[in-house]
């Protein structure tokens, strides 16, 4: 689990106009909440935050106004639908040693059994509970040799120590679908032969 240090400044201006001014300065408005405390409105450096959010479930060490330091994980990230730049971020306050609920990406390894079968990701991310400072970046699942009709359940995935499932054990994570054979419509071969004459 990677931990990234970002400097943040508390903000006192709110609303669309203030948010636009913040974004114009290549910064991102955000809110830090959790542990029963009042939400803290922040201004974060856009480039640093963008780089940090490339890592799934990144742990962010916030240096707020150069006075206090807090740990947080991203809970909600809003991006511009067309240009993709960050518009707003919600951060959840966490403490070292605290268990948090997160979703970790599921990666597959290996090749399916021959036959042109398709692998369907029913869950692209696996809901788990983990210590805030030990959230795995992803889990790997071997699909080597799986036949059509086979499935991988949540309980079949090996998780790192200290990480527990936050979904039913019988939840389907991956399944192998049989390849659909393409059938030529009846008479198509005859019509093609007649057209060739």
Tens of pLDDT, residues 163-190: 999 999 999 999 988 877 555 555 555 5
Q: According to the model, what pLDDT value does residue 25 have?
A: 87
Q: According to the model, what pLDDT value does residue 112 have?
A: 84
Q: Is the pLDDT of residue 1 over 70?
A: no
- Please report where in the chains the tokens 């330091």 appear, as a residue: 69
**Cα 44 from Cα 55, distance rounded (Å):** 17
What is the three-class DSSP state of 169? coil
**Cα 53 from Cα 50, distance rounded (Å):** 5
What is the three-class DSSP state of 3? strand
What are the DSSP calls for 53-99, one per residue?
TTSTT-EEEEEETTTEEEEEEEEEEEE-TTT--EEEEEEEEE-TT-E
Q: What is the mean pLDDT of residues 103-109?
A: 90
Beta strands 118-121; 86-94: pairing state? unpaired
Q: According to the model, what pLDDT value does residue 193 have?
A: 52
pLDDT in tens, 143-152: 888 888 889 9
Cα–Cα distance list, 81 to 47, 49, 55, 85, 87 (Å)? 18, 18, 20, 8, 10
Q: Is the pLDDT of residue 195 over 90?
A: no
Q: According to the model, what pLDDT value does residue 147 have?
A: 86
Q: Is the pLDDT of residue 133 over 90?
A: no
Beta strands 68-79; 139-142: pairing state? unpaired
Q: According to the model, what pLDDT value does residue 111 have?
A: 86
For the chain, which domains are there?
Answer: 3-94 (2.40.240.10), 100-177 (2.170.120.20)
Among 13-22, 96-105, 132-141, the minimum mean pLDDT is found in 13-22
More confident residue, 186 or 89: 89
- Average pLDDT across the chain, whole number: 85
- Least Cα distance to 70 among 28, 13, 31, 29 occurs for 31
pLDDT band at 37 (very low <50, low <70, confident <90, very high): confident
Task: Report residue 6 as tokens.
Answer: 């970002």
């Amino acid at each position: 689990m990677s931990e990234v240090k970002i400097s943040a400044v508390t903000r006192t201006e709110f609303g669309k106009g203030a948010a636009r001014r913040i974004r114009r300065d290549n910064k991102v408005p955000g809110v830090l909440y959790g542990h029963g405390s009042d939400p803290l409105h922040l201004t974060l450096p856009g480039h640093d935050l963008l780089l940090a959010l490339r890592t799934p479930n990144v742990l962010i060490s916030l240096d707020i106004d150069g006075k206090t330091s807090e740990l947080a994980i991203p809970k909600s990230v809003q991006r511009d639908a067309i240009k993709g730049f960050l518009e707003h971020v919600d951060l959840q306050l966490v403490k070292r040693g605290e268990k948090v609920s997160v979703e970790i990406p599921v990666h597959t390894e290996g090749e399916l059994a021959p036959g042109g079968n398709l692998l369907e990701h029913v869950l692209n991310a696996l809901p788990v509970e983990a210590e805030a400072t030990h959230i795995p970046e992803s889990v790997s699942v071997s699909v080597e040799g799986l036949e059509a009709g086979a499935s991988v359940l949540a309980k079949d995935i090996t998780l790192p120590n200290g990480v527990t499932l936050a979904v039913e054990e019988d939840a389907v994570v991956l399944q192998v679908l049989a390849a659909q054979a393409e059938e030529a419509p009846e008479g198509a071969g005859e019509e093609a032969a007649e057209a060739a004459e």
